Amino acid sequence: MIEKLNNIIYPSTRSFLSRVLGSFFILLCSISVTFEKLFDFYFDNCYGFQEEDTLVWMVSQTLTPIILVITRPLKPFAICYLFIIYFFSIQLYWIFDPNIPIYLYKVQLYAAGSVAIFILSTYLISKIKIKESRLRKKQEAMLIEGQRFLDLFKNKHLTTVE
């Protein structure tokens, strides 16, 4: 028990470095979905795709969830997941209007709004879970008290009759 508390208060260098590494990979995944918009790619073989950008986009869309699953055990910092929401909401915007530049204020506002909605949703869900847990504990306490009352009543009134 004390060892667990020490690890929480004074995290080891290894666990901190693994969290930083996991966070780095999440940030890389976040940015990777915009590579085809930010950089120009030229390949001799596009493997069946008509444009290099489509190939890069498909590869990043395929690798991102795999990398996210792999980095989960590294326990990356939770704030890094906000970057995923930010860039993937921009990605969603680009699906419907692919010619819009990333630096346009309404794209940034849309992405920031998506992150805000995500944070609010996460906060509300955690509050609901806390209330649900408290309610469950109250119900358990009431059941225990009811069981004690029934045991006392049974012992006092039902065992005295012979």
Contact (Cβ atoms closer than 8 angstroms) between residue 15 and residue 7: yes
Which amino acid, residue 135? Answer: L
Q: What is the CA radius of gyration of the chain?
A: 27
144: which 2 tokens?
């225990």
Q: What is the pTM of this model?
A: 0.67
pLDDT tens digits, residue range 4-31? Answer: 655 555 556 568 888 999 999 999 988 8
pLDDT tens digits, residue range 83-114? Answer: 999 988 888 888 888 777 777 888 889 889 99
